[in-house]
Amino acid sequence: MRRPARPDGRHCMAVAVLMAALWFAALAPTSTLAQTTSTPANLSANPSPATPQAFGLEVRSSNEGIRDFLTQHLNLQRYRSLSDLDEMELARLLRDADVQARELLGTLGFFKPTLSWSQDKSGKNASIGNLGLVLVDVDPGPAARVSELQWQWLGDVADDTEARAQLKAIEQQWALPVGATFSQDAWSQAKNQALRQLLAERYPWGRILHSLALVDEPNNQVRLWLTLESGPAVRLGALQISGAEKYKVTQVERLALLPVGQVYRQNDLLEAQQRLVSSGFYDSVFVSLDAEGSPAQAPVKIELKESLRQKWVLGLGVRSDSGARVSAEHTHHSVPGLRWRSVSKLSVDKDLQSLSLDLLAPPDSSLWRLNTSVQFEQEKRGDFQVNSQRWRAGRIQLGERIDRSYFAQYDAARQQGDGQGALESVSGNLAGTWRNFDSLPFPSRGQGVGLELGAGVTLGPDREPYVRWRAKGLALLPLGRTSGRLAMRAELGSVISRDTSSLPTTQLFLTGGDNSVRGYAPNSIGVQQDDGLTVAGRYLALASLEWQQPIRWRSQRTDWESAVFVDAGAVANDTGQLQPQIGYGAGARWRSPVGPVRIDLAYAQALHQLRLHLSVGFTF
C-alpha cells in the first residue's frame, strides 16, 4: 500500500532560563517536541494532580524519544479529566488514539509500528478513576529510508549556463539523500534549505512549486519528488537611497559597493548593510531589492537613519584588574573644514590613564581610508610606571572578514625610576587580520589569524635598526551539539635588533591578564631583572586551551555556558629563556544583550593565588 506522507503540525518550543555557574553544569540533552493544539476550556492537556482523572496514560517504549513524543502529542491526554467517561466512550477514544499514534510515528519515519493497548485496573493509584491506567506498548519497527529522489527545475535556472554550479551545489548538498532515514521534519528542513540556496544567488523570487513524499509501506521506503521554480535571473540596478541628509549620497554608494549590472547575491546586500552600519555614520540601515523593478536591472533600496553629527558617551565602571574606571568619548562625524570623523577618548583607572584622538577619512572606491591618530598613556607595565606617546598616520581598510592597514608610527616611552630618559623610535608597519567565524558577536565555530610586521630605527645618539613582528590565531572547534567546543588560542612575537638597542618599552612585550594568561595581573609577566623587578622583553609566546560547555535547564539550552581552561605565556630576551607561566581555572560565559560576558576564576601556578577576571565582548 502506498500513501503520501502526512504533514506534521508540530514545532519546537524552547524555554530560556538564565542560570549563573562557575563550574560544569551542563545537563544531558533530551529532544523535546511540542505541538500547538486548541484545547477546549473544560479539557486540560496536563491536569493538575488535584484534578480527579477518569484514567491514566502510560506510553512504554525502548526508544525514549518516541515515548516522550507520543506522551506529549496524543489527543487522548485531553480526556483524562472527564470524570464521567465510561468504558464504551474510552474504547472509542482508544481506537482513535491508535490511528493517531500510527500517524504520529509516520511523521518520524516509522510506518510499520506494533502497538499494544491494555488497561490496568488494579487501583494502585488512588487519583485514577475506575477506568484504570491505559498502557500502550510501542515497538516502532525499522525506520523508513529514502529510496529515490527526483529533481525538476523550472524557470531561468533550467537553461542558464552561469547557474549550473549553483544548481549542482544545491543538489550535492541536499540534506536527505538516498539511503537517509526519512522523517517529516527532515523532509521539510531539506526542502527549505534547498530553497534558501536558490534564493541566495541570482533568483530571489524562486519558490517550491511542487513536492511529494510517496511512502512504500511494505518495503519501508520513501520516494521523493521536488520541483523548484527559479523565476527570472536578477541583476542589480541603480541604488534608491532615502534618509541621506547630513552625509553625502556618494559616501553611501562607496560603502555599499553594489554596482549596476552585478549578479544578485543575498549576501552582497547583507554585507553592504553591515558596512553602512559599521561605518558609524548611520544608526540603522535596511537594504532590500525592489520587487517592482525589472529583473535585468532591479533597483536596490537603501533606507537610512543617520547618526547624530556629534555625540558624547560618559562611562563609569569597574575592572576586575584595576578597580574603578571612568571614561569619556566624543565623536564628530564630519569635522568642519576636513569632513573626517574624529573620535576623542579619555579613560582613567588605577593602572592606566589614556588620552587619544583618531581621525578617519571617508572611504574611497576600494574602501581604503586615510587614518591618523595620537595617543598619550600612563600605564603600569611590569613593575614600572611608563609614560608613553604614539603618533600614527596611514591607510586602513576594514572588511567583513579581512582588515588591512599600513602606517608610519612614532613611539616615545619613559620608564619611571630606571634612570633613563625617554626612548624613541620611528617605524613603518603592515597589519592584517583574517577571520572566518560563523556568527558574531557570539561565534560557535571558525578561525581567525592576525599578523603585524614593522621595521624601524631607534632615535637618539645611537640609531639602531630593528624589526618587530607579532602573530596571533584563534580556532573554535565544535565537539557536537551537546559537548560544546574547544577554543584554542596562540600568539607569538619578537623584536629583532642588537642587544644594545634602546627600544621604547611599548615596542617590547609583556603579557598576563584577561585575554592572555589568566590568574596574573595585566602586563605582569615579563623579564625579571637581577633586582627582582619585571620589565618588557623581546620575545613573546602564548597559548591557551579552553573547553566551553552549554548549560541546560530542563533539557533546554540557556544563555549560559561553563568553561574550564589552561593558559601559558612567557616573555624573555632570549628564546632559550622562555619559561611559561601557567594559569588555569573555570568560569562562565553569558550571551548578554550587550555582548559576550566572561567570568573566570583562575589560579596562577607561579604565585599560588586565585584571581577573578571579568570581560565583555568578542574581538579579533
Q: In the predicted model, what is the mean pLDDT of residues 47-68? A: 78
Could you tell me the CATH superfamily of domain 37-139?
Answer: membrane protein fhac (3.10.20.310)
CA nearest to 185, candidates 46, 65, 45: 65
Instruction: State the pLDDT at residue 325.
Output: 86
Residue 441: asked if its preceding bond is cis (omega within 30°), the reply is yes
Q: CA–CA separation, 200 vs 233, rounded Å?
A: 12
CA nearest to 58, candidates 144, 141, 11, 124: 124
- Helices 184-199 and 164-172, axial angle in degrees (round to 10): 160
Number of helical (H) and strand (E) elements in the chain, helices listed first = 6, 28
pLDDT band for position 27 (cuts 50, 70, 90): very low
Cα dist from 415 to 276, 496, 521, whole Å: 42, 21, 19
Q: CA–CA separation, 582 vs 378, rounded Å?
A: 28
Q: In the predicted model, what is the mean pLDDT of residues 152-168? A: 90
pLDDT band for position 51 (cuts 50, 70, 90): low
pLDDT at 473 over 80: yes
**pLDDT per residue over 247-286, tens digit each?**
889 889 989 999 999 999 999 999 899 889 888 889 999 9
Query: Cell numbers 616573555 correspond to what residue?
Result: 571
Q: Which residues pair with 116 in a beta bridge?
A: 137
Q: In 10 A of CB 54, how many CB atoms?
A: 21
More confident of the two residues 160 and 7? 160
pLDDT band for position 320 (cuts 50, 70, 90): low
Q: In what order do the strands lie in the sheet with 56-60?
A: 56-60, 133-139, 114-120
Instruction: State the pLDDT at residue 428.
Output: 98
70-95 burial code (b ≥16 CB/10 A, e <16)? bebbbbbbbbbbbeebeeeebeebbe
pLDDT band for position 38 (cuts 50, 70, 90): very low
Instruction: State the pLDDT at residue 287.
Output: 95
Query: Cell numbers 565537539 correspond to what residue?
Result: 479
pLDDT at 446 over 50: yes
Q: Are 398 and 619 in contact (CB under 8 A)?
A: no
Q: CA–CA separation, 304 vs 243, rounded Å?
A: 5
Q: Where are the domains of the chain?
A: 37-139, 145-229, 236-306, 363-616
CATH topology of domain 363-616: Porin (2.40.160)
Instruction: State the pLDDT at residue 314.
Output: 92
Residue 592: strand, helix, or coil: strand
More confident of the two residues 122 and 89? 89
**pLDDT per residue over 372-411, tens digit each?**
999 999 998 888 889 999 999 999 998 888 999 999 999 9
Cell numbers describing residue 343: 573620535
Query: Cell numbers 635588533 correspond to what residue?
Result: 497
**pLDDT per residue over 203-226, tens digit each?**
999 999 999 999 998 899 999 999
CATH topology of domain 236-306: Ubiquitin-like (UB roll) (3.10.20)
- Helices 184-199 and 87-107, axial angle in degrees (round to 10): 40
- Helices 64-73 and 87-107, axial angle in degrees (round to 10): 130
pLDDT band for position 557 (cuts 50, 70, 90): confident
Q: CA–CA separation, 104 vs 138, rounded Å?
A: 12
DSSP string covering 121-171: -S---TTB-TT-EEEEEEE--SPPEEEEEEEEEESGGGT-GGGHHHHHHHH
Q: Are 348 and 326 in contact (CB under 8 A)?
A: yes
DSSP string covering 241-298: EES-SSS-HHHHHHHH---TTPBPBHHHHHHHHHHHHHTSSEEEEEEEE-TTSBTTBE
More confident of the two residues 87 and 299? 299
Q: Is the pTM of this model over 0.85?
A: no
DSSP E strand stretches across 460-533: 465-478, 485-496, 527-528
Q: In sequence order, what are the residues at sequence separation of 6 or more whose Cβ sits closer than 8 angstroms to the Cβ of residue 261?
A: 235, 236, 297
CATH topology of domain 145-229: Ubiquitin-like (UB roll) (3.10.20)
Question: In what helix (H) or strand (E) does residue 88 lie, and over which residues does it extend?
Answer: helix 87-107
Q: In sequence order, what are the residues at sequence separation of 6 or more whose Cβ sits closer than 8 angstroms to the Cβ of residue 402?
A: 432, 433, 434, 435
In this chain, the answer to whether the domains covering 145-229 and 363-616 adopt an identical fold is no
Q: In the predicted model, what is the mean pLDDT of residues 510-531? A: 92
